[in-house]
Amino acid sequence: MAGGQVWEDETLAEWPEDDYRLFAGNLGPDVTTEMLEQVFGKFPTMQRALVVVEKKSGKSKGYGFLSFASPDDFLAAWREFNGKYVGSRPIMLRKSTWKKRDADIRKVKRLDKRAFIEFKSRRK
Are the CB atoms for 29 and 59 separated by under 8 Å? yes
Q: What is the pLDDT of residue 7?
A: 46
Domain spans in the chain, listed from the N-terminal domain onward = 11-96
The CATH number of domain 11-96 is 2.120.10.30: no
Q: Is 93 helix (H, G, I), strand (E, B) or coil?
A: strand
Per residue in 82-123, pLDDT (tens digit) is 999 999 999 999 999 866 544 444 555 555 656 656 655 665
Rounded percentage of the chain residues whose pLDDT exceeds 70: 68
Q: What is the pLDDT of residue 109?
A: 54
Residue 74 predicted with pLDDT over 60? yes
Q: What is the pLDDT of residue 86?
A: 97
CA distance 63 to 51: 6
Q: What is the pLDDT of residue 105?
A: 46
* Whole-number CA gyration radius for the chain: 18
